[in-house]
Structure 1
């Protein structure tokens, strides 16, 4: 797989330092644990708002059989993709713009003994994956950072086999219609639903981040903490009108 670092947008690389320093922060883990309770998949140490409920739903919707191939685009440190691949007994390829996250994902995979998982640097618009090489694609809370979403949808359709599914979570502001973007790329929406209790939990995480600014800076460094604090401040006012969705779409045959 090839690297396309020059094509990455500032938004996509904004969380580089957060991903690099996340493991250092017991405070950040506690914030998520307090907000999500038993639904927080702490054992995979995810970054973002994924829950056990989300992971089970994704595993169900990708529609894979043992031995097939799953791609996780925007895989971060690898936890969600490894969880789904392990549940379904499929091979996994993870792609992320942050090289440090990719390296940590590979380490996590080795620790878990997942010989059929590999990770590489790439982006939503330039994965480096061969055409029609994936039976399904998943993504957790990463697509919203991609500036050129039509190109991202086209890339997902390119790497999917015919009939393969793309299952992802993201946020949808009023001006954005993921259904139309997917259709334009040759992907038909099968499921579009809000994730359970997303708003109250995400707001609780943001309150926790703002309440523990000093501890986060001490544990993660000023740069990483500043990114989290800025997100918490900037996102809260628009969040009620920007639902967090789980969407599943299927690649249709060319007409």
Structure 2
């Protein structure tokens, strides 16, 4: 997560090489294990800061969706979405801008036990490629911070959700950004807005681990992927204390379509 505020980079494809090489780094997995302990969802092999606690909470907040479709936007390599879909008994549509992540997600889905009806495609928050009203719930884990045009993203989520469907996501929230107001403008009722447990100490522990194991990460993942992680660890620490990681759940109103809203820029 390279911080997308002020001078920090916001390129959504910056992590393509990390996603391609993450599987090859026992050191990176060990850093997360040490920081998160039993709350690290190793079976999901996530890239980011999601925990077992987060995944359980996301599943709870998606609502009653058994037998219908869940979308995971910014799905990465697919693990967290597959775990939530399995818990809920839903099919899954994963969308990510990074083609390498989508290819990894397809491979993971084919080997996932128990089997899950899952499709993964290249797309974005603003243009998912999913049908209007095709999803009973939408989730996203630690991806929304990279989206430049959040009103357009929320309008797209509104479009693909069925009436009354839930949108559940984790992200970081700087003081100048009010996700609740943006969601309300897009026709959502905000149900939950809460800081995730112990996020700060754990995230800082991950960054310390990355900086302490620079050489091992470069050897296992390659210089490009390691440099991306190291830059994040160096750049992001200074803003974390005032930028909480939050979990948000919102419900689409019965009259909302998302089609008539004019996108406007919202930087975060």
**1:136 Cα deviation from its structure 2 partner:** 0.3
Moved more, 65-74 or 131-140: 65-74
Provide the residue aligned with 2:261 in structure 1.
none
- Is residue 251 of structure 1 aligned with residue 247 of structure 2? no
1:15-34 deviation line (CA, Å, top 9, x unaligned): 11110110011000000000
What TM-score, normalized by structure 2, do the two folds share?
A: 0.90
Provide runs of 4+ in structure 1 moved above 3 Å: none
Asked whether the 8 Å contact 2:65–2:136 carries over to 1, the reply is no
Q: Give the whole-Å Cα distance in 1 for the aligned partners of 2:64 and 2:104.
A: 26
- Is residue 26 of structure 1 aligned with residue 31 of structure 2? no
**1:10 Cα deviation from its structure 2 partner:** 5.8
1:216-235 alignment to 2 at 5 Å? Answer: 216-235=217-236
Provide the residue aligned with 1:6 in structure 2.
none
Q: Which runs of 5+ in 2 are unaligned?
A: 1-8, 257-268
Q: Give the whole-Å Cα distance in 2 for the aligned partners of 1:136 and 1:50.
A: 19
Provide the residue aligned with 1:139 in structure 2.
140
**1:197 Cα deviation from its structure 2 partner:** 0.3
Asked whether the 8 Å contact 2:82–2:116 carries over to 1, the reply is no
Q: Which runs of 5+ in 1 are unaligned?
A: 1-8
**1:65 Cα deviation from its structure 2 partner:** 3.2
Asked whether the 8 Å contact 2:86–2:116 carries over to 1, the reply is no
**1:226 Cα deviation from its structure 2 partner:** 0.8
Provide the residue aligned with 1:159 in structure 2.
160
What TM-score, normalized by structure 1, do the two folds share?
A: 0.95
Q: Across the two proteins, how many residue pairs are aligned to each other?
A: 247
Asked whether the 8 Å contact 1:72–1:138 carries over to 2, the reply is yes
Provide the residue aligned with 1:44 in structure 2.
44
**1:78 Cα deviation from its structure 2 partner:** 0.3
The secondary structure found in structure 2 opposite 1:13 is coil
Provide the residue aligned with 2:112 in structure 1.
112
Asked whether the 8 Å contact 1:97–1:121 carries over to 2, the reply is yes
